[in-house]
Amino acid sequence: MASLKQLVTQVRMPLNVVAAKLPTFLGGSADLAHSNMTYIKTDGLQDDANRLNRNIQFGVREFAMGTVLNGMALHGGLRVYGGTFLSYSQTILRQRFDCQLYKVFL
């Protein structure tokens, strides 16, 4: 039986594998990046001093996160992802389907 550490590593790996192969893959979480494992290890948080980092901290704003990700996907050239807990996902998924966009939600 796999240990908890092995299971956590397996869950985190796909996001970081994709991020290593796609430099235009970015996104973040609504203040839950370490809880729902949506942090790209090779980059820090995006801010004024580090605009090319690919981890965005949206704060506790799931609706705003979905809106920002929709805008980034509509602009083009980026593959975006967002992470939240299942209880907050209904509004975000509805936005995604209404806009017929390709985004990754974790």
β 104-105/79-83 pair status = parallel
Residues 6+ apart with CB under 8 A from 28: 38, 46, 55, 56, 57, 58, 65, 82, 83
To which residue do tokens 């996104």 refer?
27
Which entry of 62, 66, 70, 103 is annotated as an active-site residue? 62
**CA separation for the pair 48, 102 (Å, rounded):** 27
User: How remote is the C-alpha of 84 from its chain's centroid?
Assistant: 9
Active site (annotated) includes residue 45? no
Residues involved in catalysis: 62
